[in-house]
Amino acid sequence: MPSSIEDRLRIELAERSYDIIVGRNLIGRPEAFSALRAGRHAVVVTNATVDPLYGNALVGSLRQRFTNIERVVLADGEEHKDWSTLQHIFDALLGSGADRQTTLFALGGGVIGDMTGFAAACFMRGVPYVQVPTTLLAQVDSSVGGKTAINHPLGKNMIGAFYQPKLVVSDLDTLRTLPDRELIAGLAEVIKYGPIADIAFFEWIEAHLEALLERDPEALAFAVLHSCRLKARVVEQDERESGLRAILNFGHTFGHAIEAGLGYGQWLHGEAVGCGMVMAADLSLRLGLISPASSLRIRSLVEKAGLPVRCPPLGADRYLELMHLDKKAEGGDLRFVVLEALGRARLERVSERLVADVIDAHSR
* Choice among 245, 297, 299, 328 that is catalytic: 245
Contact 338, 284 (CB under 8 A): yes
Whether residue 65 lies in the annotated active site: no
Residue 109 DSSP code = S
CB atoms within 10 A of CB 40: 12
* Choice among 182, 241, 259, 271 that is catalytic: 241
Name beta bridge partners: 103.
42
* Choice among 226, 269, 299, 335 that is catalytic: 269
* Choice among 189, 239, 259, 271 that is catalytic: 189
Residue 3 DSSP code = S
* Choice among 41, 80, 81, 147 that is catalytic: 147
d(CA 6, CA 24): 7
Question: Cα 190–196–321 angle (5° rounding)?
Answer: 90
> φ, ψ for residue 273 (rounded to 5)?
-70, -40
* Choice among 256, 299, 327, 328 that is catalytic: 256
* Choice among 166, 252, 297, 328 that is catalytic: 252
Whether residue 249 lies in the annotated active site: yes
Look at residues 242, 243, 279 and name the one whose alpha carbon lies nearest to residue 258: 279
> φ, ψ for residue 17 (rounded to 5)?
-65, 150
The span from the first CA to the last CA of the chain, in angstroms, equals 38
d(CA 200, CA 156): 31
Grouping H, G, I as helix, E, B as strand and the rest as coil, residue 85 is helix
Whether residue 269 lies in the annotated active site: yes
* Choice among 81, 231, 299, 362 that is catalytic: 231
> φ, ψ for residue 249 (rounded to 5)?
-95, 20
Whether residue 349 lies in the annotated active site: no
DSSP strands (E only) in 48-128: 66-74, 103-108
Whether residue 271 lies in the annotated active site: no
CB neighbours of 206 closer than 8 A, spacing ≥ 6?
301
Whether residue 245 lies in the annotated active site: yes
* Choice among 157, 192, 249, 327 that is catalytic: 249
Whether residue 10 lies in the annotated active site: no
Angle between helices 252-262 and 269-286 (to 10 degrees): 130
Whether residue 125 lies in the annotated active site: yes
Catalytic residues, by residue number, are 125, 147, 189, 231, 241, 245, 249, 252, 256, 269
